[in-house]
Chain A
Amino acid sequence: MHRLPKDSRVHRGEYEVKVYRAKSVEEALELIENYPDFTLFAGGSDVSVHLQEESIGGLIDITEIESLKVIKLSSKSIKIGALVTINEILESEEVLEHLPLLHKVCETFASHQIRNIATIAGNVINDSPVADLIAPLLVLNATVILSSLESQRVVVLEELFDGFKSLKMDREIVLGFELPIEQGSFYYRKVGARERLNITKLSLVMFRTDDEYRVSGASLNSYVKRFKTIEKLLESSCFSKSELIKAIEKDVSPHSNAEYKKRVLLKMLEEALVEIG
């Protein structure tokens, strides 16, 4: 009979690790400056899983920075603080009214228990090719507000991503996201092994305004990005199915089950065009 070493289960993840607590953004940034190899810790639903598997240098706990837990509505946009949890987004009437696509995506995000701790910035910064929130934030033209010790910058979210797990941030912290309030219709579908608590096999998000189509999806490339060729094709008034297939080939390069994913994506695009075409 195979026996686990006596302590391996009970003490999994238990090793000496340095922890610093930041009470403010400034404190967090100073810690990042002094300990650049430490991991930022918020809800922990992603980080704590890594902690069990590999040792890390140390943690900078940012859970107590209250200023990052706010959803703010203005006339033209909604700002969502980095530490707002998925369930807090779901509970927000402002989001439901002005960003129904984001609300819908959050409904099928992980499970209730995880939605209670997982944060919006955590899902983005973890930079997984299967992240639920990146694609909808991209098609909603979200900008991300970043701060370093020296300055703040606001960039289009898309500019943060450039390849598998290669986030373009340097000793910075995400303060939050700004999402413009726009009129538009949307389509969202996530394919997985089950309806809830599923890791996305692939998803399609489409947002259509009067002027343009914005399309993205998860688990279709080494990082989540906009599907620019498909967008351009949809904007031309007339196109054939074979052109759509060609556009998929250009925009999408799945790491696994490529043929399956491309076929399903084609079906979903056709469905989206029927729904909001």
Chain B
Amino acid sequence: MQIKCRVNAKEMLFDVSPTARVLDVLRDAGFTSLKEGCGGGECGACSIFIDKKLVNSCLLIALQLDGAEIFTLEGLQDETKEIQESFAKGGAIQCGFCTSGFVLRAYEYVKNGGSKDEQAIKEALDGNLCRCTGYQKIVESIEESMK
């Protein structure tokens, strides 16, 4: 099936099965910021924006790309610069596998006027898992980027 969409503001055409996972389709196309963690919609490492909404690309199928506007972390470098720096400075990154998912979620949360309250930030991260940091430094780094 021919699938037309925009990825990071560029027109793209994929010729793939409509049931192929978007995670695989995009990674095969070179967008490797999205990672396969759990592959079942639990860890958020494969998060991308589709039509301005953050979703798990492991739960999307190619069919859903058709006509959509996609952003991966590769296409949001300027927009997420502050958060990325805050993560680096605050020690919110250890192995880094989950980081692109966290950065995108933090970016979306801050952009949508999320509260600075620690509990609210923790709740906002309910779709992202990190097995290294214990979350505290991630939460602090997001708080810091909002100052």
Give the interface of A toward B (CB within 8 A).
10-17, 19, 41, 44-45, 48-49, 51-52, 59, 61, 63, 87, 110-114, 116-117, 195-197
Known: A14-B21, A44-B61, A113-B41. 16 other contacts (CB 8 A): A10-B24, A11-B24, A12-B21, A13-B20, A14-B19, A17-B19, A19-B63, A45-B59, A48-B21, A49-B59, A111-B42, A111-B128, A112-B127, A113-B44, A114-B55, A116-B54
- Does any Cβ of A come within 8 Å of B10's Cβ? no
Option from B28, B44, B126 in Cβ contact (under 8 Å) with A10: B28
Known: A41-B63, A44-B61. A114 touches B19 (CB 8 A): no
**A114 CB contacts on chain B under 8 angstroms:** 41, 55-56, 59, 127
Are A112 and B17 in touch, CB under 8 angstroms? no
Option from B1, B17, B55, B128 in Cβ contact (under 8 Å) with A116: B55
**B60 CB contacts on chain A under 8 angstroms:** 44, 48, 117
Q: Name the interface residues of B95-142: CB closer than 8 Å to any CB of A.
A: 105, 123-124, 126-128
In angstroms, Cα B21 to Cα A110, docked, is: 20
Q: What 3 A-B pairs come out closest when comparing CB atoms? A: A111-B127, A196-B126, A113-B127
- Does any Cβ of A come within 8 Å of B88's Cβ? no
Pairs A–B under 8 Å by Cβ, sample size 8: A11-B24, A13-B20, A13-B61, A17-B18, A111-B126, A113-B127, A116-B53, A117-B53
Are A14 and B54 in touch, CB under 8 angstroms? no
Q: How many residues on chain B are close to A (CB under 8 Å)?
A: 29
Main secondary structure of the interface of A (DSSP, over half): loop
Give the interface of B toward A (CB within 8 A).
1, 16-21, 24, 28, 40-42, 44, 47, 53-56, 59-61, 63-64, 105, 123-124, 126-128
Option from A13, A15, A117, A195 in Cβ contact (under 8 Å) with B55: A117
**B55 CB contacts on chain A under 8 angstroms:** 113-114, 116-117
Are A14 and B126 in touch, CB under 8 angstroms? no
Are B59 and A48 in touch, CB under 8 angstroms? yes
* Closest CB in chain B relative to A193 CB, distance in Å: 12
Are A197 and B42 in touch, CB under 8 angstroms? yes
Are A111 and B44 in touch, CB under 8 angstroms? yes
Most buried by B among A45, A116, A196, A197: A116
**B41 CB contacts on chain A under 8 angstroms:** 45, 49, 110-111, 113-114
**A14 CB contacts on chain B under 8 angstroms:** 16-17, 19-21, 24
* Closest CB in chain A relative to B131 CB, distance in Å: 14
Known: A10-B24, A113-B41. A51 touches B61 (CB 8 A): yes
In angstroms, Cα B26 to Cα A10, docked, is: 11
Are A13 and B63 in touch, CB under 8 angstroms? no
Are A112 and B59 in touch, CB under 8 angstroms? no
Nearest to A196 among chain B residues (CB) is B126
In angstroms, Cα B41 to Cα A196, docked, is: 13
Nearest to B54 among chain A residues (CB) is A113
**A45 CB contacts on chain B under 8 angstroms:** 41, 59
Are B126 and A197 in touch, CB under 8 angstroms? yes
Nearest to A117 among chain B residues (CB) is B55
Option from A59, A110, A112 in Cβ contact (under 8 Å) with B105: A112
**A12 CB contacts on chain B under 8 angstroms:** 21, 24
Are B1 and A19 in touch, CB under 8 angstroms? yes
**A197 CB contacts on chain B under 8 angstroms:** 42, 126-127
Are A13 and B59 in touch, CB under 8 angstroms? no
Nearest to A87 among chain B residues (CB) is B53
* Closest CB in chain A relative to B130 CB, distance in Å: 13
